[in-house]
Structure 1
Amino acid sequence: MSRMKDKVVIITGAAQGIGATYAKALAEEGADIVIADILDGTSVVREIEAKGGKAIAIKTDVADETSAAAMATAVTQRFGRIDVLINNAAIYASLNLKPFEEIDVAEWDKVMAVNVRGPFVCAKAVVPYMKRNGYGRIVNISSGTPFKGTPNLLHYVTSKGAILTLTRALARELGDHGICVNTLAPGLVLSEGVIENAELRDRLTAPVIASRAIKRDQLPEDLITPLLFLASDDSAFMTGETLVVDGGSVMH
């Protein structure tokens, strides 16, 4: 339990799915958890508290600068510091596969607002507190799709490609302040959302598994140890990097 002991960790989009898995795993490592989600995260908080951990849920619209700033203020008022930000919130499993000509501008803008503006806005909100302590870890969640050019999800793939470059540029700006910025890029994960989206499950699972060196479904639990590495001092001399975890589908 010492790996993340007394670290204050904000996880966006952690009220359900993979984000909830991250929250519970980090709590088990001793972190104080903040679930920043537009959805109600109290059930995850209760699970963490039932095992002796500390957690709070703050309703947060990651795409809204005022909401993100209020969240960061509330975290510091409660815990006194912010050590780690995991930019996990994203629009993905609710999307329908379609040729790019059929993606309307409103849907494109919605995906970009959450998937790209969200990590920018949240980093902007928490970095002043990290700078104050001369320490921070920002983990941006991307995807294996930008490396493949996955078709029929142009807005999603583009947004996750932007995360790779956002990470690199932000790492350059924050290195002198003791803040490391890295990317975790999962493959197709058998999450709650993917299971519920029959089209994603049916059309993508077989070809994705066939492309992997390790030919099985990827589970949320496969991401826990890599995330802990990036969120902890184990990766203290690593920044601007992307760690792909997908069973060997993408090798870069």
Structure 2
Amino acid sequence: MGVTGLGLEGKAVIVTGAAQGIGRAFAMAFAAEGARVLAADIACCKDTCALVEAAGGTCVTTALDVTDAASCRAMAQAAQDAFGAVDVLVNNAAFFAALKRAPFMELDEDDWDKAMNVNTKGVWQVSRAVVPLMKAQGGSIINIASATVFSGSPHWMHYVASKGAVIAISRVMAKELGPDNMRVNVIAPGFTLTEASFGHIEDARNYGVGRAALCRNAEAEDITGGALYLASKLSGFMTGQTLVIDDGKQFI
């Protein structure tokens, strides 16, 4: 455990949206570094925890509705009960696969509201519930946005707008939490092959590959190194920044 020497052994890490995809990969990666993980999602992440524990890691789980303040507080209490304090928060939960794509003139208003409530308000709700558990020792908050913020993605304005707001609020959080030695950064993944993308995009494995410098789409594990870096001592003077992990699509 902790073979990379990132200093994450024994750290307490919360990962939201950890039931599958990138969130599950985050949980697995932190556990492999010796961190203790709380995996949260709309339903308990028993399968994720089973995988973590089978690999020799430590994981607890709880249900979480990021749009509900009481649910966020209950999740924070579960983390306090399990770990006493929290060192790293990964705000990964998002509404994506069920969104209906359409020209912005025709977008469904309910979809717009759901994207904003989960993807943007959810980051705020979870963060304000967890920050009191980080203040004493400081820590790292990693908010997950999307590379579509920079490229623009036609027929997906609701999703792009919600993820652009994640970057904006992260900069505010970085300024407000810096005096307490809490860092706030953003990862903006490009298109990543997960259960959600395979269910949402036709021929997902080849989607947009023509614009990829590395000639392939990302797997969930390709995103985890950025999170480990932002949680570790290696990025100790980095805050308010956005790390784009998108195999070069932004400059092609």
Which of 4, 9, 34 is the aligned partner of 1:5?
Answer: 9
Residue equivalent to 1:154: 157
Alpha carbon RMSD of aligned pairs, Å?
Answer: 1.6
Contact residue 193 and residue 205 of structure 2 kept, 8 A: no
Equivalent residue number for residue 49 of structure 1: 53
For 1:243 and 1:203, the matched residues in 2 are separated by 23
- 1:230 paired residue number: 230
Contact 1:143 1:185 in 2 (8 A): yes
Q: Which deviates further from its counterpart, 98-107 or 64-73?
A: 98-107
Query: How far apart in 1 are the matches of 2:204 and 2:30?
Result: 33
List per-residue Cα deviations over 1:85-123 (Å, max 9, x = no partner).
000000112223211222222111111110000000011
- Could you say which residue in structure 2 is the equivalent of 1:241? 241
Which residue pairs with 1:176 in the alignment?
179
Alignment of 1:81-100 (within 5 A): 81-100=85-104
Contact 1:141–1:183, Cα closer than 8 Å, also in 2: yes
Q: Does 1:211 align with 2:245?
A: no
Matches within 5 A, 1:109-188: 109-133=113-137, 135-188=138-191
Which residue in 1 is equivalent to 2:202?
A: 201
What are structure 1's unaligned runs of at least 5 residues? Answer: none
Q: Establish whether residue 23 from structure 1 lines up as the match of residue 27 from structure 2.
A: yes
Secondary structure of the corresponding residue to residue 92 of structure 1: coil
Q: Is the 8 A contact 1:188 1:205 kept in 2?
A: no
Are the structure 2 counterparts of residues 27 and 111 from structure 1 closer, same or farther at C-alpha, using a change threshold of 3 Å?
A: same
Say if 2:41 is the partner of 1:37: yes
For 1:80, the aligned partner's letter is G
97-106 or 72-81: bigger deviation: 97-106
Paired amino acid for 1:20: R
> Letter of the aligned partner of 1:79 in structure 2?
F
Ranges in structure 2 where 5+ consecutive residues have no aligned partner:
none
Return the alpha-carbon distance in structure 1 between the equivalents of residues 206 and 112 of structure 2: 24
Give the secondary-structure state (helix, strand or coil) at the position aligned to 1:20: helix
Q: Which residue of 2 aligns with 1:58?
A: 62
Shift of 1:173: 0.6
How much does 1:205 deviate?
A: 4.7
Which whole-Å CA distance do the structure 2 matches of 1:150 and 1:205 have between them? 17
Distance in structure 2 (CA, Å) of the matches to 1:211 and 1:163: 25
Provide TM-score, normalisation by structure 2: 0.94
Superposed CA deviations along residues 108-165 of structure 1, whole A, max 9, x for unmatched, are 11111100000000110011111122x1100000111010121101100000100111
Question: 1:229 is matched by which residue type in structure 2?
Answer: Y
- The aligned counterpart of 2:72 is 68
* Partner residue of 1:102 out of 103, 106, 119: 106
So what's the TM-score if we normalise by structure 1?
0.94
Count of residues in correspondence between the two structures: 248
Give the residue type in structure 1 aligned to 2:202: R
SS in 1 for 2:192: coil
Measure how far apart 1:73 and its partner are: 1.2
Distance 1:21 1:103 in 2: 31
2:40 counterpart letter in structure 1? A
Structure 2 distance, partners of 1:201, 1:13, is 23
Q: What letter corresponds to residue 162 of structure 1 in structure 2? A: A
**Aligned-pair distance for 1:204?**
9.8
**How many angstroms apart in 2 are the aligned matches of 1:230 and 1:104?**
35
Show CA shifts across 1:14-59 (max 9, x none). Answer: 0111111110111011010101111230111111112221111110
Where 1:243 maps in the other structure, the secondary structure is strand
Q: Say which is worse superposed, 46-55 or 85-94, in terms of deviation.
A: 46-55
Secondary structure of 1:165's aligned partner: helix
